């Protein structure tokens, strides 16, 4: 079995993701180039647009921040927690931003004024850019802790509260935003938008210079391209409800969506890997490594299940216990590697004589095998055993010390019974084991049926009922 696809690794950036990221960046840049000359074109206000946009930003960023916080804690990486902090900051600052925007939640601003929304917008993009710079320049060696997540959350809330107070109560001390009644900033205050745009460009460059290649870094870089375009078109458009303003809002959402989609894709791949690994582990836990038959653990479980089913349906359950004749002499003569190959060949012959889906062949231990045959009486079980002997004789595996036949042979004990109310699987197994012992005592290379007195008194022999 090819197990490679199910290995759980810390996957790097695949060439496919790099190609996809390049295409997305090219589309973003081309769209920005087309939109820039038309950015100042006024469009009609869309009722509820800012409310829907704000709610979408809050939901997307809180989900993304939660995923990154969880990933940082699981991997023990402070850098990932710091990335989650950047998106959590966006979540928190959007609450006062929507409240200050006229038409965001109500017709008029709930807190501050129209200028407050502009300043909070500046705080949003500046703070986010600075946090991305902090993420990109942090050491990968620093361990992430629950306390770190707690401090990040508290710090974000405190900073946003202070910024909100500055943009509302402190508005008289800030530069005038709408001096001409329309544009966000004029020539006298261009230092503010230049600072906002500059911080985002620096953040983009810092992410591009990160050495460790991981999918989240690739898509954070894509998101920062979108963030720079967002700032550029918002400032170039110059007014609310312009084409540039609408386009900028879409790129704002894409800034977070790009990283969120990459996280969800990574989780899906991880789930696929875990599911595959779990399947392999379950197979290994129930399969004998040498013969690929079921192992003793699986045999015990299946026998119990089939016993209960047979008791409920009042049907016969048969068991074959099989032992390789003179196997110690075979190992002494041919070596243990040849002995392992012999057991594998016997297992293949065993699988050829059981055809029903419910039949189970298992390696019981050493050179012993067992077969569970549901809904089978003594005659049917004996027929399976005899077919196995015939097939093995035809295979003619050499065994010089198994005189007089000089090939590998088997001794097989068979028991079958309809489980009674007080019976147990032990009675069935003991009866088959005694029959196996009798087969060996009687000369080997034969099938021996369990006698009536071998069964526990709580059960009824199947062959007496037939």
Question: Do the Cβ atoms of 413 and 435 come closer than 8 Å?
Answer: yes
Pick from 367, 371, 365: which is nearest to 341 by CA?
Answer: 367
Q: What are phi and psi of 460, to 5 degrees?
A: -110, 125
Q: What are phi and psi of 50, to 5 degrees?
A: -65, -35
**Predicted local confidence at residue 185, as pLDDT:** 67
Domain limits, CATH 3.30.70.270, in the chain = 296-465
Domain limits, CATH 1.20.1070, in the chain = 4-281
Residue with tokens 């034969």: 446
CA 291/CA 466 separation, integer angstroms? 35
CA 42/CA 442 separation, integer angstroms? 102
**Predicted local confidence at residue 183, as pLDDT:** 55
**Predicted local confidence at residue 239, as pLDDT:** 76
Write out the chain's pLDDT in tens, 466 residues.
344 443 344 457 788 888 999 999 999 999 999 999 998 898 888 878 888 899 999 999 999 999 999 999 998 999 999 999 999 999 999 999 999 888 766 677 788 888 888 899 999 999 999 999 999 999 888 888 999 999 999 999 999 999 999 999 998 888 877 655 455 666 667 788 889 999 999 999 999 998 767 888 899 999 999 999 999 998 887 777 889 888 998 998 998 999 999 899 888 888 888 888 887 787 778 888 899 899 999 999 999 999 999 999 999 999 999 999 999 999 999 999 999 999 999 999 999 999 888 899 999 989 999 999 999 999 999 999 999 999 999 999 999 988 888 999 999 999 999 998 877 899 999 999 999 999 999 999 999 999 754 454 334 433 333 3
Whole-structure pTM over 0.85, yes or no?
no
Q: Does domain 4-281 have CATH number 2.60.40?
A: no
CA 112/CA 89 separation, integer angstroms? 20
CA 418/CA 308 separation, integer angstroms? 10
**Predicted local confidence at residue 452, as pLDDT:** 55
Pick from 212, 188, 258: which is nearest to 25 by CA?
Answer: 258
Question: Do the Cβ atoms of 449 and 382 come closer than 8 Å?
Answer: yes
Q: What are phi and psi of 18, to 5 degrees?
A: -65, -45
| CATH T-level fold of 296-465 | Alpha-Beta Plaits (3.30.70)
């Amino acid at each position: 079995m090819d197990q490679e696809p199910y290995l759980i690794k810390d996957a790097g950036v695949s060439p496919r993701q790099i190609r996809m990221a390049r295409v997305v960046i090219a589309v973003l840049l081309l769209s920005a180039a087309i939109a820039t000359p038309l950015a100042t074109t006024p469009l009609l206000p869309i009722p509820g647009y800012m409310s829907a946009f704000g709610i979408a930003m809050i939901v997307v960023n809180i989900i993304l921040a939660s995923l990154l916080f969880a990933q940082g804690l699981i991997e023990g990486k402070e850098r990932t927690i710091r990335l989650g902090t950047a998106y959590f900051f966006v979540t928190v600052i959007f609450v006062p931003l929507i409240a200050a925007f006229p038409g965001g939640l109500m017709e008029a601003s709930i807190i501050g004024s129209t200028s407050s929304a502009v300043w909070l917008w500046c705080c949003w993009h500046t703070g986010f850019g600075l946090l991305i710079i902090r993420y990109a320049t942090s050491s990968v060696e620093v361990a992430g802790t629950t306390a770190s997540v707690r401090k990040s959350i508290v710090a974000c809330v405190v900073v946003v509260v202070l910024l909100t107070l500055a943009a509302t109560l402190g508005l008289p001390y800030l530069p005038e935003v709408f001096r001409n009644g329309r544009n966000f900033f004029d020539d006298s205050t261009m230092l503010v938008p230049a600072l906002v745009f500059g911080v985002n460009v620096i953040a983009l460059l810092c992410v591009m210079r990160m050495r460790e290649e991981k999918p989240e870094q690739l898509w954070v870089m894509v998101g920062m391209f979108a963030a720079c375009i967002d700032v550029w078109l918002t400032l170039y458009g110059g007014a609310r409800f312009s084409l540039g303003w609408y386009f900028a809002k879409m790129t704002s959402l894409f800034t977070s969506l790009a990283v969120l989609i990459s996280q969800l894709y990574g989780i899906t791949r991880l789930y696929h890997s875990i599911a595959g690994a779990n399947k392999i582990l379950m197979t290994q836990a129930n399969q004998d490594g040498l013969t690929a038959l079921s192992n003793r653990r699986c045999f015990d479980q299946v026998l119990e299940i089939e016993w209960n089913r047979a008791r409920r349906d009042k049907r016969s359950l048969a068991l074959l216990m099989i032992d390789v004749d003179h196997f110690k002499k075979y190992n002494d003569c041919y070596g243990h590697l040849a002995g392992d190959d012999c057991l594998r060949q016997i297992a293949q012959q065993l699988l050829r004589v059981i055809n029903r889906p419910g039949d189970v062949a298992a390696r019981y231990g050493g050179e012993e095998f067992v077969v569970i045959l549901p809904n089978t009486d003594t005659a049917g079980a004996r027929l399976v055993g005899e077919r196995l002997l015939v097939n093995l004789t035809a295979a003619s595996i050499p065994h010089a010390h198994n005189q007089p036949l000089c090939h590998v042979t088997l001794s097989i004990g068979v028991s079958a019974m309809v489980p009674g109310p007080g019976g147990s699987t032990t009675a069935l197994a003991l009866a088959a084991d005694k029959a196996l012992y009798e087969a060996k005592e009687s000369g080997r290379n034969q099938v021996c049926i369990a006698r009536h007195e071998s069964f526990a008194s709580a059960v009824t022999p199947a062959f007496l009922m037939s």
